[in-house]
């Protein structure tokens, strides 16, 4: 399950079957978006719905199947429920009837292991209120106060909204600046944006739009042009941008066109620093030179899109790496947040896309398997810059002294 274009804070609703999860999500959203039934197991697959929290903003509620589902099919539903932990920023664990067991213990362990903040909610409190002993038990196990709630009489509704608002991690909804530490009021930034077969009809790709918005937010000036116009533009206008950002696929052309005294990077590397595991990317990228015959490389695309005949992840990067290394290398490509086709330890290198369509948490959750296993990781733009011989220049805007260093190559 992926966030796709919904890069808003995700709130997951978890608990046993018939504990009132769907009623809770309907109550929070103010409309019937999840089927409610007295029959256990009504929700079989994760269901997502946008919801506006007053005074906070839009979030995505994720209703999930019961964690106590049984049988072969039930276990598949539980597995899908647990996979949503990779995308949520806040978990609501719904209990009822003063009942707590192994299923709840296991969820709490998973919340802690994945660093997911959570709220434990005693639902259906209009039927049976939580006892003092049960409240004490929940606190002793979780370290959190039990929250009493009812979707029928909406007791403590406003308090729950306030608690949700205050518990969602700040990094899940506050937008960091892409370039704010590099540019100042009135600075000119040159954006080199090729319009090729992979460019969406009638619009720019998301990283380019994000860069333009961030430049404007920082009271700077964005100049957008295609790669073949760079030489003439700079010669004719005599403008000297404080920074040039290019699509990684035309790095070589941009490197030749943009004078060496103008910092140059790519949209993908900009995103790598913004939301990726940049420090591990810096360590992992030079490992490209150590690839051997028979090694396997994993390319992670964190969105799904139409695949062209010269696709960047499936065709161009594998071709460039193979030509650079001269080795016989195997490549796997995984789109979205699908499961890996083999253990991550089978790979000698993992290459992550910029991740423009997902959150920082999703991206780093995806990479953490490789990082923990000691598998080198890098990013599309950084890998491309490395094999094309302009890596130091490309990372220099974000790494002091890199432009004149030998250590990165």
Provide the 10 A C-beta neighbour count for residue 404: 8
Residues of CATH 3.40.50.11410 domain(s) within the chain? 279-391
pLDDT digits (tens, 9 = 90+) for 234-267: 999 999 999 999 999 899 999 999 999 999 999 9
Quote the pTM value: 0.66
Using the predicted structure, report yes or no on whether residue 68 has a pLDDT greater than 90: no
H or E element at residue 401: none
Using the predicted structure, report yes or no on whether residue 360 has a pLDDT greater than 80: no
Using the predicted structure, report yes or no on whether residue 396 has a pLDDT greater than 60: yes
- Residues 332-344, mean pLDDT to the nearest whole number: 87
* pLDDT for 77: 86
User: Which CATH number among 1.10.3720.10, 3.30.1490.480, 3.90.550.10, 3.40.50.11410 corresponds to the domain 279-391?
Assistant: 3.40.50.11410
Residues of CATH 3.40.50.300 domain(s) within the chain? 10-172
Q: Which CATH class is domain 10-172?
A: alpha beta
Least confident of 95-99, 165-169, 316-320, 334-338: 334-338
Alpha-carbon torsion (388, 393, 398, 404), positive or negative: positive
pLDDT digits (tens, 9 = 90+) for 174-208: 555 689 889 999 999 999 999 865 666 777 888 89
Using the predicted structure, report yes or no on whether residue 388 has a pLDDT greater than 70: yes
Classify residue 219 as exposed, middle or buried by CB count within 10 Å of its CB (0-12, 13-18, 19+): exposed
| Residue 97 or residue 55, greater confidence | 97
Instruction: Name the architecture of domain 188-270.
Output: 3-Layer(aba) Sandwich (3.40)
Calculate helix-pair angle for 267-275, 380-387, nearest 10 degrees.
130
Residues of CATH 3.40.50.11420 domain(s) within the chain? 188-270
DSSP string, 47-114: EEEEEEETTTEEEEEEE---TT--HHHHHHHHHHHHHGGGT-SEEEEEE-TT---HHHHHHHHHHHHT
**SS3 call for 383:** helix
Give the β-pairing of 57-63 and 47-53. antiparallel
**In terms of Cα–Cα distance, which of 9, 354, 13 is closest to 170?**
9
Q: How far is CA 172 from the centre of its chain?
A: 10
* pLDDT for 2: 45
């Amino acid at each position: 399950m992926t966030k796709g274009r919904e890069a808003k804070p995700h709130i997951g609703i978890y608990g046993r079957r018939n504990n009132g999860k769907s009623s809770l999500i309907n109550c929070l959203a103010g409309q019937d978006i999840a089927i409610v039934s007295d029959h256990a197991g009504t929700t079989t697959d994760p269901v997502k719905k946008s919801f506006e929290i007053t005074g906070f903003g839009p979030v995505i509620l994720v209703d999930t199947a019961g964690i106590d589902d049984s049988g072969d099919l039930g276990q598949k539903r539980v597995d899908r429920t647990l996979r949503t932990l990779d995308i949520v920023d806040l978990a609501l664990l719904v209990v009822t009837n003063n009942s707590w067991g192994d299923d709840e213990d296991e969820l709490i362990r998973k919340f802690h292991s994945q660093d997911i903040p959570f709220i434990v909610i005693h639902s259906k409190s209009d039927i049976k209120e939580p006892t003092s002993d049960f409240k004490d038990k929940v606190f002793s196990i979780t370290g959190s106060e039990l929250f009493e709630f009812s979707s029928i009489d909406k007791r403590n509704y406003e308090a729950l909204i306030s608690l949700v608002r205050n518990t969602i991690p700040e990094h899940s909804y506050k937008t960091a600046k892409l370039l704010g530490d590099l540019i100042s009021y009135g600075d000119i930034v040159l954006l080199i944006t090729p319009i090729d077969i992979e460019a969406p009809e009638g619009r720019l790709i998301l990283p380019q739009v994000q860069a333009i918005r961030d430049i404007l937010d920082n009271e700077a000036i964005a100049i957008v042009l295609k790669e073949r116009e760079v030489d003439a533009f700079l010669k004719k206008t005599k403008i000297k941008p404080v920074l040039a950002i290019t699509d990684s696929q035309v790095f070589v052309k941009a490197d030749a066109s943009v004078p060496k005294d103008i910092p140059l990077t790519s949209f993908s590397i900009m995103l790598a620093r913004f939301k990726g595991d940049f420090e591990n990317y810096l360590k992992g990228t030079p490992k490209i030179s150590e690839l051997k015959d028979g090694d396997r490389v994993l390319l992670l695309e964190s969105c799904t899109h139409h695949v062209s005949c010269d696709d960047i992840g499936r065709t161009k990067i594998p071709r460039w790496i193979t030509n650079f290394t001269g080795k016989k290398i195997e490549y796997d490509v995984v789109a979205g947040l699908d499961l890996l086709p083999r253990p991550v330890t089978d790979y000698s290198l993992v290459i992550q896309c910029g991740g423009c369509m997902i959150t920082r948490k999703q991206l780093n959750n995806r990479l953490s398997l490789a990082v923990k296993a000691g598998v080198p990781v890098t990013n599309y733009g950084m890998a491309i810059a490395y094999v094309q011989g302009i890596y130091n220049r490309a990372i220099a805007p974000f790494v002091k002294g890199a432009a004149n260093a030998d250590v990165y190559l």
